[in-house]
Amino acid sequence: MAGMPRPLAGSDGTVSDIRADGVQHYMGISVRETAGAVSVLRIRAGSITGIILDTISLAANESVTTWYGPMGKHCEGDLIEDTVSGAYEGSVFVA
Protein backbone atom coordinates (compact mmCIF):
# COMPACT_ATOMS: atom_id res chain seq x y z
CA MET A 1 0.00 0.00 0.00
CA ALA A 2 1.47 3.37 -1.02
CA GLY A 3 1.43 6.29 1.38
CA MET A 4 0.50 9.85 0.44
CA PRO A 5 2.53 12.57 2.24
CA ARG A 6 0.75 15.10 4.44
CA PRO A 7 2.86 17.96 5.85
CA LEU A 8 3.28 18.40 9.59
CA ALA A 9 2.38 21.91 10.82
CA GLY A 10 4.73 21.94 13.80
CA SER A 11 1.75 22.56 16.08
CA ASP A 12 -1.38 20.81 17.36
CA GLY A 13 -3.98 20.09 14.71
CA THR A 14 -5.38 17.76 12.07
CA VAL A 15 -2.76 16.32 9.75
CA SER A 16 -5.12 14.25 7.60
CA ASP A 17 -8.92 14.22 7.52
CA ILE A 18 -10.63 10.85 7.42
CA ARG A 19 -11.27 9.75 3.84
CA ALA A 20 -14.79 9.73 2.44
CA ASP A 21 -14.89 5.92 2.57
CA GLY A 22 -14.07 6.03 6.30
CA VAL A 23 -10.75 4.20 5.96
CA GLN A 24 -7.37 5.67 6.80
CA HIS A 25 -4.03 4.06 7.52
CA TYR A 26 -1.08 5.76 9.17
CA MET A 27 1.83 4.46 7.09
CA GLY A 28 4.76 6.33 8.60
CA ILE A 29 6.54 9.59 9.38
CA SER A 30 9.62 11.51 8.33
CA VAL A 31 10.50 14.35 10.71
CA ARG A 32 13.50 16.57 11.56
CA GLU A 33 14.15 18.72 14.64
CA THR A 34 14.76 22.35 13.57
CA ALA A 35 15.65 24.50 16.62
CA GLY A 36 18.68 22.72 18.05
CA ALA A 37 16.84 21.40 21.12
CA VAL A 38 14.82 18.34 22.16
CA SER A 39 11.48 17.97 20.38
CA VAL A 40 8.62 15.55 21.08
CA LEU A 41 5.45 14.96 19.08
CA ARG A 42 2.67 12.40 19.06
CA ILE A 43 0.47 11.20 16.24
CA ARG A 44 -3.03 10.45 17.52
CA ALA A 45 -6.22 8.99 16.10
CA GLY A 46 -9.47 10.94 16.16
CA SER A 47 -8.72 13.88 18.49
CA ILE A 48 -6.00 15.65 20.46
CA THR A 49 -6.78 13.26 23.34
CA GLY A 50 -7.26 10.19 21.11
CA ILE A 51 -5.29 6.96 21.00
CA ILE A 52 -1.57 7.49 20.45
CA LEU A 53 -0.40 5.82 17.23
CA ASP A 54 3.19 7.05 17.45
CA THR A 55 5.46 9.08 19.75
CA ILE A 56 8.57 10.66 18.27
CA SER A 57 11.30 12.08 20.50
CA LEU A 58 14.07 13.94 18.68
CA ALA A 59 17.42 15.11 20.03
CA ALA A 60 18.84 18.41 18.77
CA ASN A 61 19.24 18.30 14.96
CA GLU A 62 18.09 14.65 14.80
CA SER A 63 15.85 13.25 12.07
CA VAL A 64 13.75 10.07 12.04
CA THR A 65 11.96 8.16 9.32
CA THR A 66 9.66 5.28 10.26
CA TRP A 67 7.58 3.12 7.90
CA TYR A 68 4.75 0.81 8.97
CA GLY A 69 4.12 -0.91 5.66
CA PRO A 70 2.77 -2.79 4.02
CA MET A 71 -0.59 -2.20 5.76
CA GLY A 72 0.15 0.62 8.22
CA LYS A 73 -1.78 1.34 11.40
CA HIS A 74 -5.57 1.61 11.05
CA CYS A 75 -6.80 5.03 12.16
CA GLU A 76 -10.38 5.66 13.28
CA GLY A 77 -11.12 9.32 12.61
CA ASP A 78 -8.75 12.07 11.63
CA LEU A 79 -4.99 11.81 12.08
CA ILE A 80 -3.93 14.39 14.69
CA GLU A 81 -0.56 16.06 15.29
CA ASP A 82 0.05 16.61 19.03
CA THR A 83 3.11 18.79 19.71
CA VAL A 84 4.55 18.14 23.17
CA SER A 85 7.68 20.30 22.89
CA GLY A 86 10.19 21.81 20.51
CA ALA A 87 10.24 22.61 16.83
CA TYR A 88 10.27 20.22 13.86
CA GLU A 89 9.29 19.81 10.23
CA GLY A 90 8.30 16.83 8.16
CA SER A 91 5.45 14.73 6.85
CA VAL A 92 3.25 11.83 7.80
CA PHE A 93 2.22 9.28 5.21
CA VAL A 94 -1.37 8.02 4.96
CA ALA A 95 -3.22 5.60 2.73
Segments forming the whole domain that contains residue 13: 4-94
pLDDT (tens digit per residue) in 38-73? 999 999 998 999 999 999 999 999 999 999 989 999
pLDDT at 3 over 90: no
Q: Pick the residue with more confidence: 43 or 95? A: 43
pTM: 0.90
- Given this model, what pLDDT does residue 68 score? 95
Which domain CATH number covers 11?
2.60.120.260
- Alpha-carbon span 43 to 61, nearest angstrom: 20
Query: What is the DSSP track for 35-54?
Result: SSS-EEEEEEESSTTSEEEE
- Alpha-carbon span 86 to 95, nearest angstrom: 28
Domain count, the chain: 1
